Structures are given as C-alpha cells and as structure tokens.
Amino acid sequence: MEHRALTRLAASAAAALIALTTGCTGATVQGRPGASGLRDPYFPKAGNGGYQVEHYDLDLDYDPADGQLDGTAVITARATQGLSSFNLDLSGLRVEGVTVEGAGARFNRSGNELTVRPAEDLKKGEVFRTEVDYSGKPKAVTDPDGSQEGWIRTDEGAAGAAGAVGVGEPVGSMAWFPGNHHPSDKATYDIKLTVPKGYEAVSNGELTSRTDTGDGQTEFAWHSAEPMASYLATAAIGKFKVTTGKTPSGVAVYNAVSPGEEARSAPRLARLPEIVEWGGGRFGPYPFSTTGAIVVPAETLAYALETQTRPVFSGAPSEDALVVHELAHQWYGNAVSPKSWKDMWLNEGFATYAEWLWSEDHGGPTAQQHFDALLAGDTAVDSEAGSDWSAFPPAAPPGPEQLSESPVYLRGAMVLQRIRQEVGDEKFFALLRGWVADHKYGNASTADFTAYAEKKTGRDLKKVWDVWLYGEARPR
C-alpha cells in the first residue's frame, strides 16, 4: 500500500541524516544490547530482554488466495535498561524496514531473531515506538512435540474458499508478527486485518470497526483492552458465519464458524453464554470485555486453543467439556498467565479441573470421582483414566516435548483436588477466585501459587506439593 512506501522513504532519509550527524552529537546515553532470549527453561530463545512491550498495533493485509501477508507492526515498549540494540522474535517473512521513534534503524536477521539497532541508544525507562514493515507468506511452526502452530492455511472445502488462522502456543506468533514472544511480557493490542471482500477476519477482543475500503477489500479493526500474552493472539480469516449475542451478565459474544461446521457447532455454542456465566460464579467475574469462539475447518489443527476472549476450535467442539476447558483458560492462563513455560500446569491443571467442576455441577461425576477414577484407572468414570498421568511431576515436565502431556493436565487437576481435600470447599473456592482476582492481567509462577495457596488457606500444604506437584513417584 501506498503509505508503507512513504514510511520507508521517510525512514531511510532519516537514517541518512542520522548517519551524517551522530559523529558530532556526542553520545550521552550508553546502552548495551538487550538479551536475545529470556532463558525460559524450555524455550530459552523465546522473548527478549531489555524492554517490556506496552502495546502492539498490527496492520495486516492478507490475501487468502496466495497466502501473502503485508504487515506493519508498531510496537510501543519501555526500556528496562539502557539499550544499544534489542531483539524481536520473527520467523520467516521479509523485513522491509524498521524505524525506532520515527528514525531509520539498522537491523539484521539471524534464525528467529530480528536485531534492531536504533540510531540513538535508548535510556532506561524510556518508552519507544518501533515500526517494522514486513511481508511474505507466513508459515506453520512445528513444535518439539510435533504439533503445528504459527500460521496455518485452511481449506473451507465445499465453500471453495481458502482461509488462514494464526495460533501461537507456545512460540508460533513469531510466524505472523514481530514481538517479544514470551508469556511474561503482556501487552494490549490493536489488530487490523484487511482481507478481500466476502471474507470475515476475526481476532481477539472487540470489533471496533468494519470498513469497506472501496477497492474490493474489507478492513476489520479489533481491540484488546486487557493485557494479553502474545501466544494468545489470533487472526482468523475465512468465509465464516458470524453470530453475536450477550451472556446473562452482559458480556458481548462474537462467534465465527467456518462453513460446513455450523450445524455441528450450534448446540455447543448455544451453551457458551451459560458456560461463561457459570465460570463467573465459580472463578469470579469474567476477566475480559468480550467472549466467543472461532471454529475453523476440522483437520486444520490437532487441538483447540484458548486464544484470548475467543478460543479457536478445529472443527465443531466435540463436547461441552472442551468449550468449558478453553473458556476456563480465560481465567487460568489468559487473565493470570504463566511466568515461564515450566508453569504450564497452572493453565492446564486448572482448565482440566474446570471440566471436572462443570461435570460436578451438572449431574456428572464429581471432581472427587474424577480424582478417584484416575487413581484407580477407571475409564468408565473418566475416559482419560487410562493415560500415564503420573509419568512425571506436573511442575517439572522433563522437556518441551512433554508440555502438553497428561501429567500437566490430569495430575495438575489432581493437585487442586488434593488441596480441596485438605482445606475444604469454602477455602478452596476462595482460593480459586482469589488467585484470579489478585493476579489478573499479570503473570505468576508455581512458587507464587504454592505460597499464595498456603497464605490464602492458612494451611501448610507442603505434603501436597512434595508428593503431587514435584514428586517423581506415582502418588497413591
């Protein structure tokens, strides 16, 4: 588009000026390079040091026919140290230009790292805007466990349409926008998606405008007012059937369903407002201003993902429990996000426990019965009871390829039931609600949780942690 070319021109002119003048200005700020990773125990190169992002403003043009993306990312961040350079995570794509505070910046690429050298060093505490102009055909990223994330093209089959979806747990968001791609750096977002007329484009948060650009394109502007970890950002393009509504408490619902999945999705999505309302009763007020679901064609992904405010389902959700799981993540994982990927059980153990609670509250087996069934391997009560839930402690998966294995989910949920057994219902549910109320929009670690649980319940829970959370042996 025209304005990008102008931006680049202005940027290179500014860069030339700076090149001429830096020699005689006398550098008063001494920065050093920001780290190229945050040393996450499982994904050491994910994220970057030296700054925290406050806001992402993404302007993405996407052509589903050929998979071409033309993007501008404006990233507002605060330097947490003096910076001579800093990194963004970006996989593939072509970077056409980078400016920092409007001045052309040098940059280079190495693997998934985009290193930016601003014309002038940044001061500690300084808020600065980085604009990255980029383009190309974004691709899928294969995780250590073999699953696919990043940018996935979809086939809407009978409708004859191709679409796409961006999903980013744990590191796939780097496939479609440059950023600080680690859950510890949460920010607000504006995501503008421009697609050919006839397509819908859906993202997180609230749709603030939908504009016919007059040149055969439609522009969808989405705003996320509450902080979001970048792995929870999504963009979905397709010939979706969109439906809107409200939960009983007045939270706006926006659902987008791929053609061919509408009939099977309808009974599940009909219960979505009720599920959100139920979560509010169990976990405390729903933490975001909007909710809903995105159903992409079946076979697109091997999983559903709790993308913020609007989970992505690959094909119609097969059961209510799956919708409950992804919506429970809005409290556990999205409002309160892990400090590192080692804390993933704080997401998955809680979301699995939410399924048990939903069952308990709706005439199915109670959480205690699920717990007992797992101990006994009774698949008649819990279909997952035959899995190797005790293979490793939920707070210490052996490696990144085990992050989505059953101990993180099932034994994680069992940790919560063990706490409930120790402290009783009143204190336990106060703990579930308090954990969100006291940490929402931030990050927390396993150590934060165990300390909080003991403080909130007034009980020494060391045995639960030692045996269930950290113990190598199968608990009995």
Distance (Å) of CA 309 to CA 66, 335, 346, 435: 29, 10, 18, 19
Please report how close the Cβ of residue 338 comes to Zn ion at its closest, in angstroms. Answer: 12
Instruction: Look at residue 182 and give its three-state secondary structure.
Output: coil
Taking the complex as a whole, the smallest distance from the CB of residue 290 to Zn ion amounts, in Å, to 20
Number of Cβ within 10 Å of residue 383's Cβ equals 9
CB closer to Zn ion, 99 vs 340: 340
CB of 46 or CB of 351, closer to Zn ion: 351
The residues, ordered by sequence, that sit 6+ positions from 362 with a Cβ below 8 Å of its Cβ are: none
- In angstroms, the Cα distances linking 139 to 13, 90, 183, 350, 422 are 32, 11, 21, 31, 48
Stretch binding Zn ion (CB under 5 A), from 57-65, 85-93, 147-155, 340-348: 340-348
CA 150 to chain centre: 11
Residue closer to Zn ion by CB (options 323, 423) is: 323
* Part of the chain binding Zn ion (CB under 5 A), chosen from 36-44, 166-174, 314-322, 342-350: 342-350
Residue closest to Zn ion when measured from CB atoms: 351
- Residues 240, 110: Cα–Cα separation, whole Å: 37
Question: What's the token pair of residue 381?
Answer: 């009560």
Site membership for Zn ion, residue 328 (CB under 5 A): no
For residue 60, the cross-strand partners are 71, 193
Q: What residues have CB less than 8 Å from 218, skipping those under 6 apart?
A: 194, 195, 196, 197, 199, 201, 210, 211, 212
CA 356 – CA 428 distance, rounded (Å): 15
CA dist 79 and 127 (Å) reads: 6
Nearer to Zn ion, 322 or 430 (CB): 322
Stretch of 43-51, 57-65, 87-95, 350-358 contacting Zn ion, by CB under 5 A: 350-358
- For residue 21, the minimal CB distance to Zn ion (Å) is 53
Least gap, CB of 463 to Zn ion (angstroms)? 27
Pick between residue 199 and residue 353 the one whose CB is nearest to Zn ion.
353
Q: Nearer to Zn ion by C-beta: 228 or 351? A: 351
Question: What number of chain residues touch Zn ion (CB under 5 A)?
Answer: 2
What is the smallest separation between the CB atom of 253 and Zn ion, expressed in angstroms? 21
Q: How far is the CB of 292 from Zn ion (least distance, A)?
A: 17
Of the candidates 175, 181, 232, 183, which has an alpha carbon nearest to the alpha carbon of residue 60?
A: 175
Q: How far is the CB of 309 from Zn ion (least distance, A)?
A: 15
Query: Cβ closer to Zn ion: 292 or 412?
Result: 412
Q: Residue 267: how many CB atoms within 10 A of its CB? A: 11
Q: Which is nearer to Zn ion, 121 or 348 (CB)?
A: 348
Shortest distance, position 474 Cβ to Zn ion, whole Å: 23
Does 354 help bind Zn ion (rule: CB under 5 A)? no
User: Considering beta carbons, is residue 351 or 423 the nearer one to Zn ion?
Assistant: 351
Pick the piece of the chain touching Zn ion (CB under 5 A) from 234-242, 347-355, 370-378, 383-391.
347-355
Binding mask 242-281 for Zn ion (x = CB under 5 A): ----------------------------------------
Is residue 280 within 8 Å of residue 331, measured between CB atoms? no
CA neighbor of 268 nearest in space, from 314, 306, 321: 321
Instruction: Please tell me the distance from the alpha carbon of residue 159 to that of residue 30, in angstroms, as a whole number.
Output: 58
- Say which amino acid occupies 108: N
Out of 152, 191, 351, 373, the residue judged to bind Zn ion by CB under 5 A: 351
Q: How far is the CB of 173 from Zn ion (least distance, A)?
A: 17
Residues 446-465 that bind Zn ion (CB under 5 A): none
Burial 71-110 (b: 16+ CB within 10 A, else e): bbbbbebebebbbbbbbbbbbbbebbbbbbbebbbebeee
Least gap, CB of 268 to Zn ion (angstroms): 16
Q: Which stretch binds Zn ion (CB under 5 A): 109-117, 199-207, 231-239, 349-357?
A: 349-357
We find the least distance from the C-beta atom of residue 72 to Zn ion, in angstroms, to be 32
CB nearer Zn ion, residue 165 or residue 351: 351
Q: Give the count of beta carbons closer than 10 Å to the beta carbon of residue 274.
A: 13
Please list, in sequence order, all residues whose beta carbon lies within 8 angstroms of the beta carbon of residue 14, skipping any fewer than 6 positions away: 99, 102, 103, 104, 119
Options 171-179, 228-236, 343-351, 374-382: segment touching Zn ion (CB under 5 A): 343-351
Q: Which is nearer to Zn ion, 316 or 408 (CB)?
A: 408
Maximum C-alpha span of the chain: 78
Q: Which residues bind Zn ion (CB under 5 A)?
A: 348, 351
